[in-house]
Structure 1
Amino acid sequence: MATTEDASEESGILQELEDIKRLLILTLLREGASQAEIAKALGVSQPSISRMFPGKIGKTTRGSAPR
């Protein structure tokens, strides 16, 4: 049976993984990765990535600078 301490530790681990995922996404965006490339790196669909970004964030193409 899981204790409150175990649940708290699991919650902390899940939050750390989410933080790592955000850092990976930001790094890939800075490198000019497309949404499709980011989706492939994370193992999710491109529409999932599209829903994560408001407006034009993440929609730049390789070689163009984000505004």
Structure 2
Amino acid sequence: MPVIVYVADREMFRDDDSIFHEILASHGIQKGDYEVELYATFPMLIFDELSDDVISELETIDVVQIERVD
């Protein structure tokens, strides 16, 4: 199921050493494994699939919002 991840903090998205990218990397997810659309206010990442473990960890970051697409 596709998953959209909104990152409300642009700096967190830009910083490769941020907790956001650390979580993705710890699950073997790299740039290129998802589509990125940059909006004026925040980046939106589109994943074809994202495991519940990754989603759970990303949800612990206050500036990240997850949307599951049916």
TM-score scaled by structure 1?
0.27
Indicate the structure (1 or 2) with the bigger Cα radius of gyration.
1
Higher strand share: 2
Higher relative contact order (CA 8 A, sep 6+): 2
Task: Say which structure is richer in helix.
Answer: 1
